[in-house]
Amino acid sequence: MPRNPVRLATAAASSMLVGGLLFAAPVAAAGTAQNYVVVYSSSAVPWDAARTISAAGGSVVASYNAIGVVIASSDRATFASKLKADRRVSGAVASGTFATQIVNDAATTDQAPVDPGTPAPGSDPLGGLQWDMNQIHAPEARAINGGSASVLVGDIDTGLDYTHADLAANVDDAGSVNCLSGVPVPGKVAAMDDNGHGTHTAGTIAAALNGIGIVGVAPNVRIAGIKAGNANGFFFPEAVICAFMWVGTHHMAVTNNSYFADTWLFN
């Protein structure tokens, strides 16, 4: 297990998806290309990493020099073992069997209608349904400070629906990104939610106070959709590594991560 702070951060980003709600994706058949997370012991990517990865039978998908991590692709069954023969490599693992899957708890059509109640002052029409906001005294907090547009929140989830009437005004295009492949694809269109969970969490954070639907905890902040979970709700290591690196390099004040894992990927 890594011991210094930089290595702990690297391993955490690389392994937070393992354990807890762990689901094994189908194992790739022999000869099928799959992604690998490669961690270097020096906390930096060596200058010849592409050459050594190629020599082991793979190619570089993305390189994150700041944390000493490369996302590589290979169809060779011996790729990881060959790469780990390099003393500079502290771990190389196929990411396909490591994922956490969220459970989308959106309301189903067979649920009985709920009386929205009477909206509280400074709320939106469905504010009466937001018992969770009342529990944390969000309305009282919003009356003092509803957040600032200078604050950018990164919602690391399944993306968000940037066309949603309760979110559109607060979605930050430049900060949004699709990280599913391990390589960032910028923009709110690329980060469009195809699962629903990310839109749900984004609304909890930053739904606008606009006379429509609900109100978020901080309705005045900007929010970026950081798409790291796919349509089926699976979060793979390469996507989460990409997401955290994007957040770090785009100076986001805070992130939301509504998925769970707590076991080390690299031992």
Residue 192 sits in a domain whose CATH number is: 3.40.50.200
- Identify whether residues 92 and 135 lie together within a single domain: no
Residue 35 pairs in a beta bridge with: 73
Report the pLDDT averaged over residues 129-137.
Answer: 87
Q: 């955290």: which residue's tokens? A: 244
- Identify whether residues 251 and 169 lie together within a single domain: yes
- Identify whether residues 141 and 48 lie together within a single domain: no
Q: 């690297």: which residue's tokens? A: 10
* pLDDT 10s digits, 71-88: 999 999 999 999 999 999
What strands lie across the sheet with 152-157, from one edge to the other? 185-186, 177-178, 222-227, 152-157, 254-257
**What is the per-residue DSSP string for the chain?**
---SHHHHHHHHHHHTTBSSSB-PPPPPPTT--EEEEEEETTSS--TTHHHHHHHTTEEEEEEEGGGTEEEEEE--TTHHHHHHTSTTEEEEEEGGG--EE----PPPTTSPP----PPPTT--TTGGG-HHHHHTTHHHHHHH----TT-EEEEEES-B-TT-TTTGGGB-TTT-EE-TTSS-EESTTTTB-SSSHHHHHHHHHH---SSSS---SSTTSEEEEEE-B-TT-EE-HHHHHHHHHHHHHTT-SEEEE-----B-S--
Domain annotation covers residue 179: yes
- Final residue of a domain: which of 98, 114, 139? 98
Domain annotation covers residue 246: yes
Residue 28 has pLDDT above 60, yes or no: no
Band (112; pLDDT cuts 50, 70, 90) = low
Domain span at 32: 24-98
* pLDDT 10s digits, 135-149: 998 888 888 888 999
Domain annotation covers residue 220: yes
- Identify whether residues 40 and 160 lie together within a single domain: no
Residue 261's pLDDT is 54
- Identify whether residues 84 and 136 lie together within a single domain: no
Domain annotation covers residue 8: no
* Cα-Cα end-to-end distance for the chain: 5
Report the pLDDT averaged over residues 28-44.
Answer: 86
- Identify whether residues 92 and 157 lie together within a single domain: no
Q: How many CB atoms lie within 10 A of CB 118?
A: 8
Burial class (CB in 10 A: 0-12, 13-18, 19+), 19: middle
User: In Å, how far are 108, 220, 229, 256, 261 from 13, measured between CA atoms?
Assistant: 33, 29, 15, 14, 11
176 and 247 Cβ atoms separated by less than 8 Å: no
Q: How many CB atoms lie within 10 A of CB 41?
A: 14
Domain CATH code at residue 93 = 3.30.70
Residue 111 has pLDDT above 80, yes or no: no
- Identify whether residues 135 and 229 lie together within a single domain: yes
Residue 254's pLDDT is 94
Number of domains in the chain: 2
Model pTM above 0.75 = yes
Domain annotation covers residue 113: no
Pseudo-torsion of CA 46, 48, 52, 53, nearest 10°?
70
Residue 142's pLDDT is 87
Residue 31 pairs in a beta bridge with: none
- Identify whether residues 89 and 143 lie together within a single domain: no
Band (110; pLDDT cuts 50, 70, 90) = low
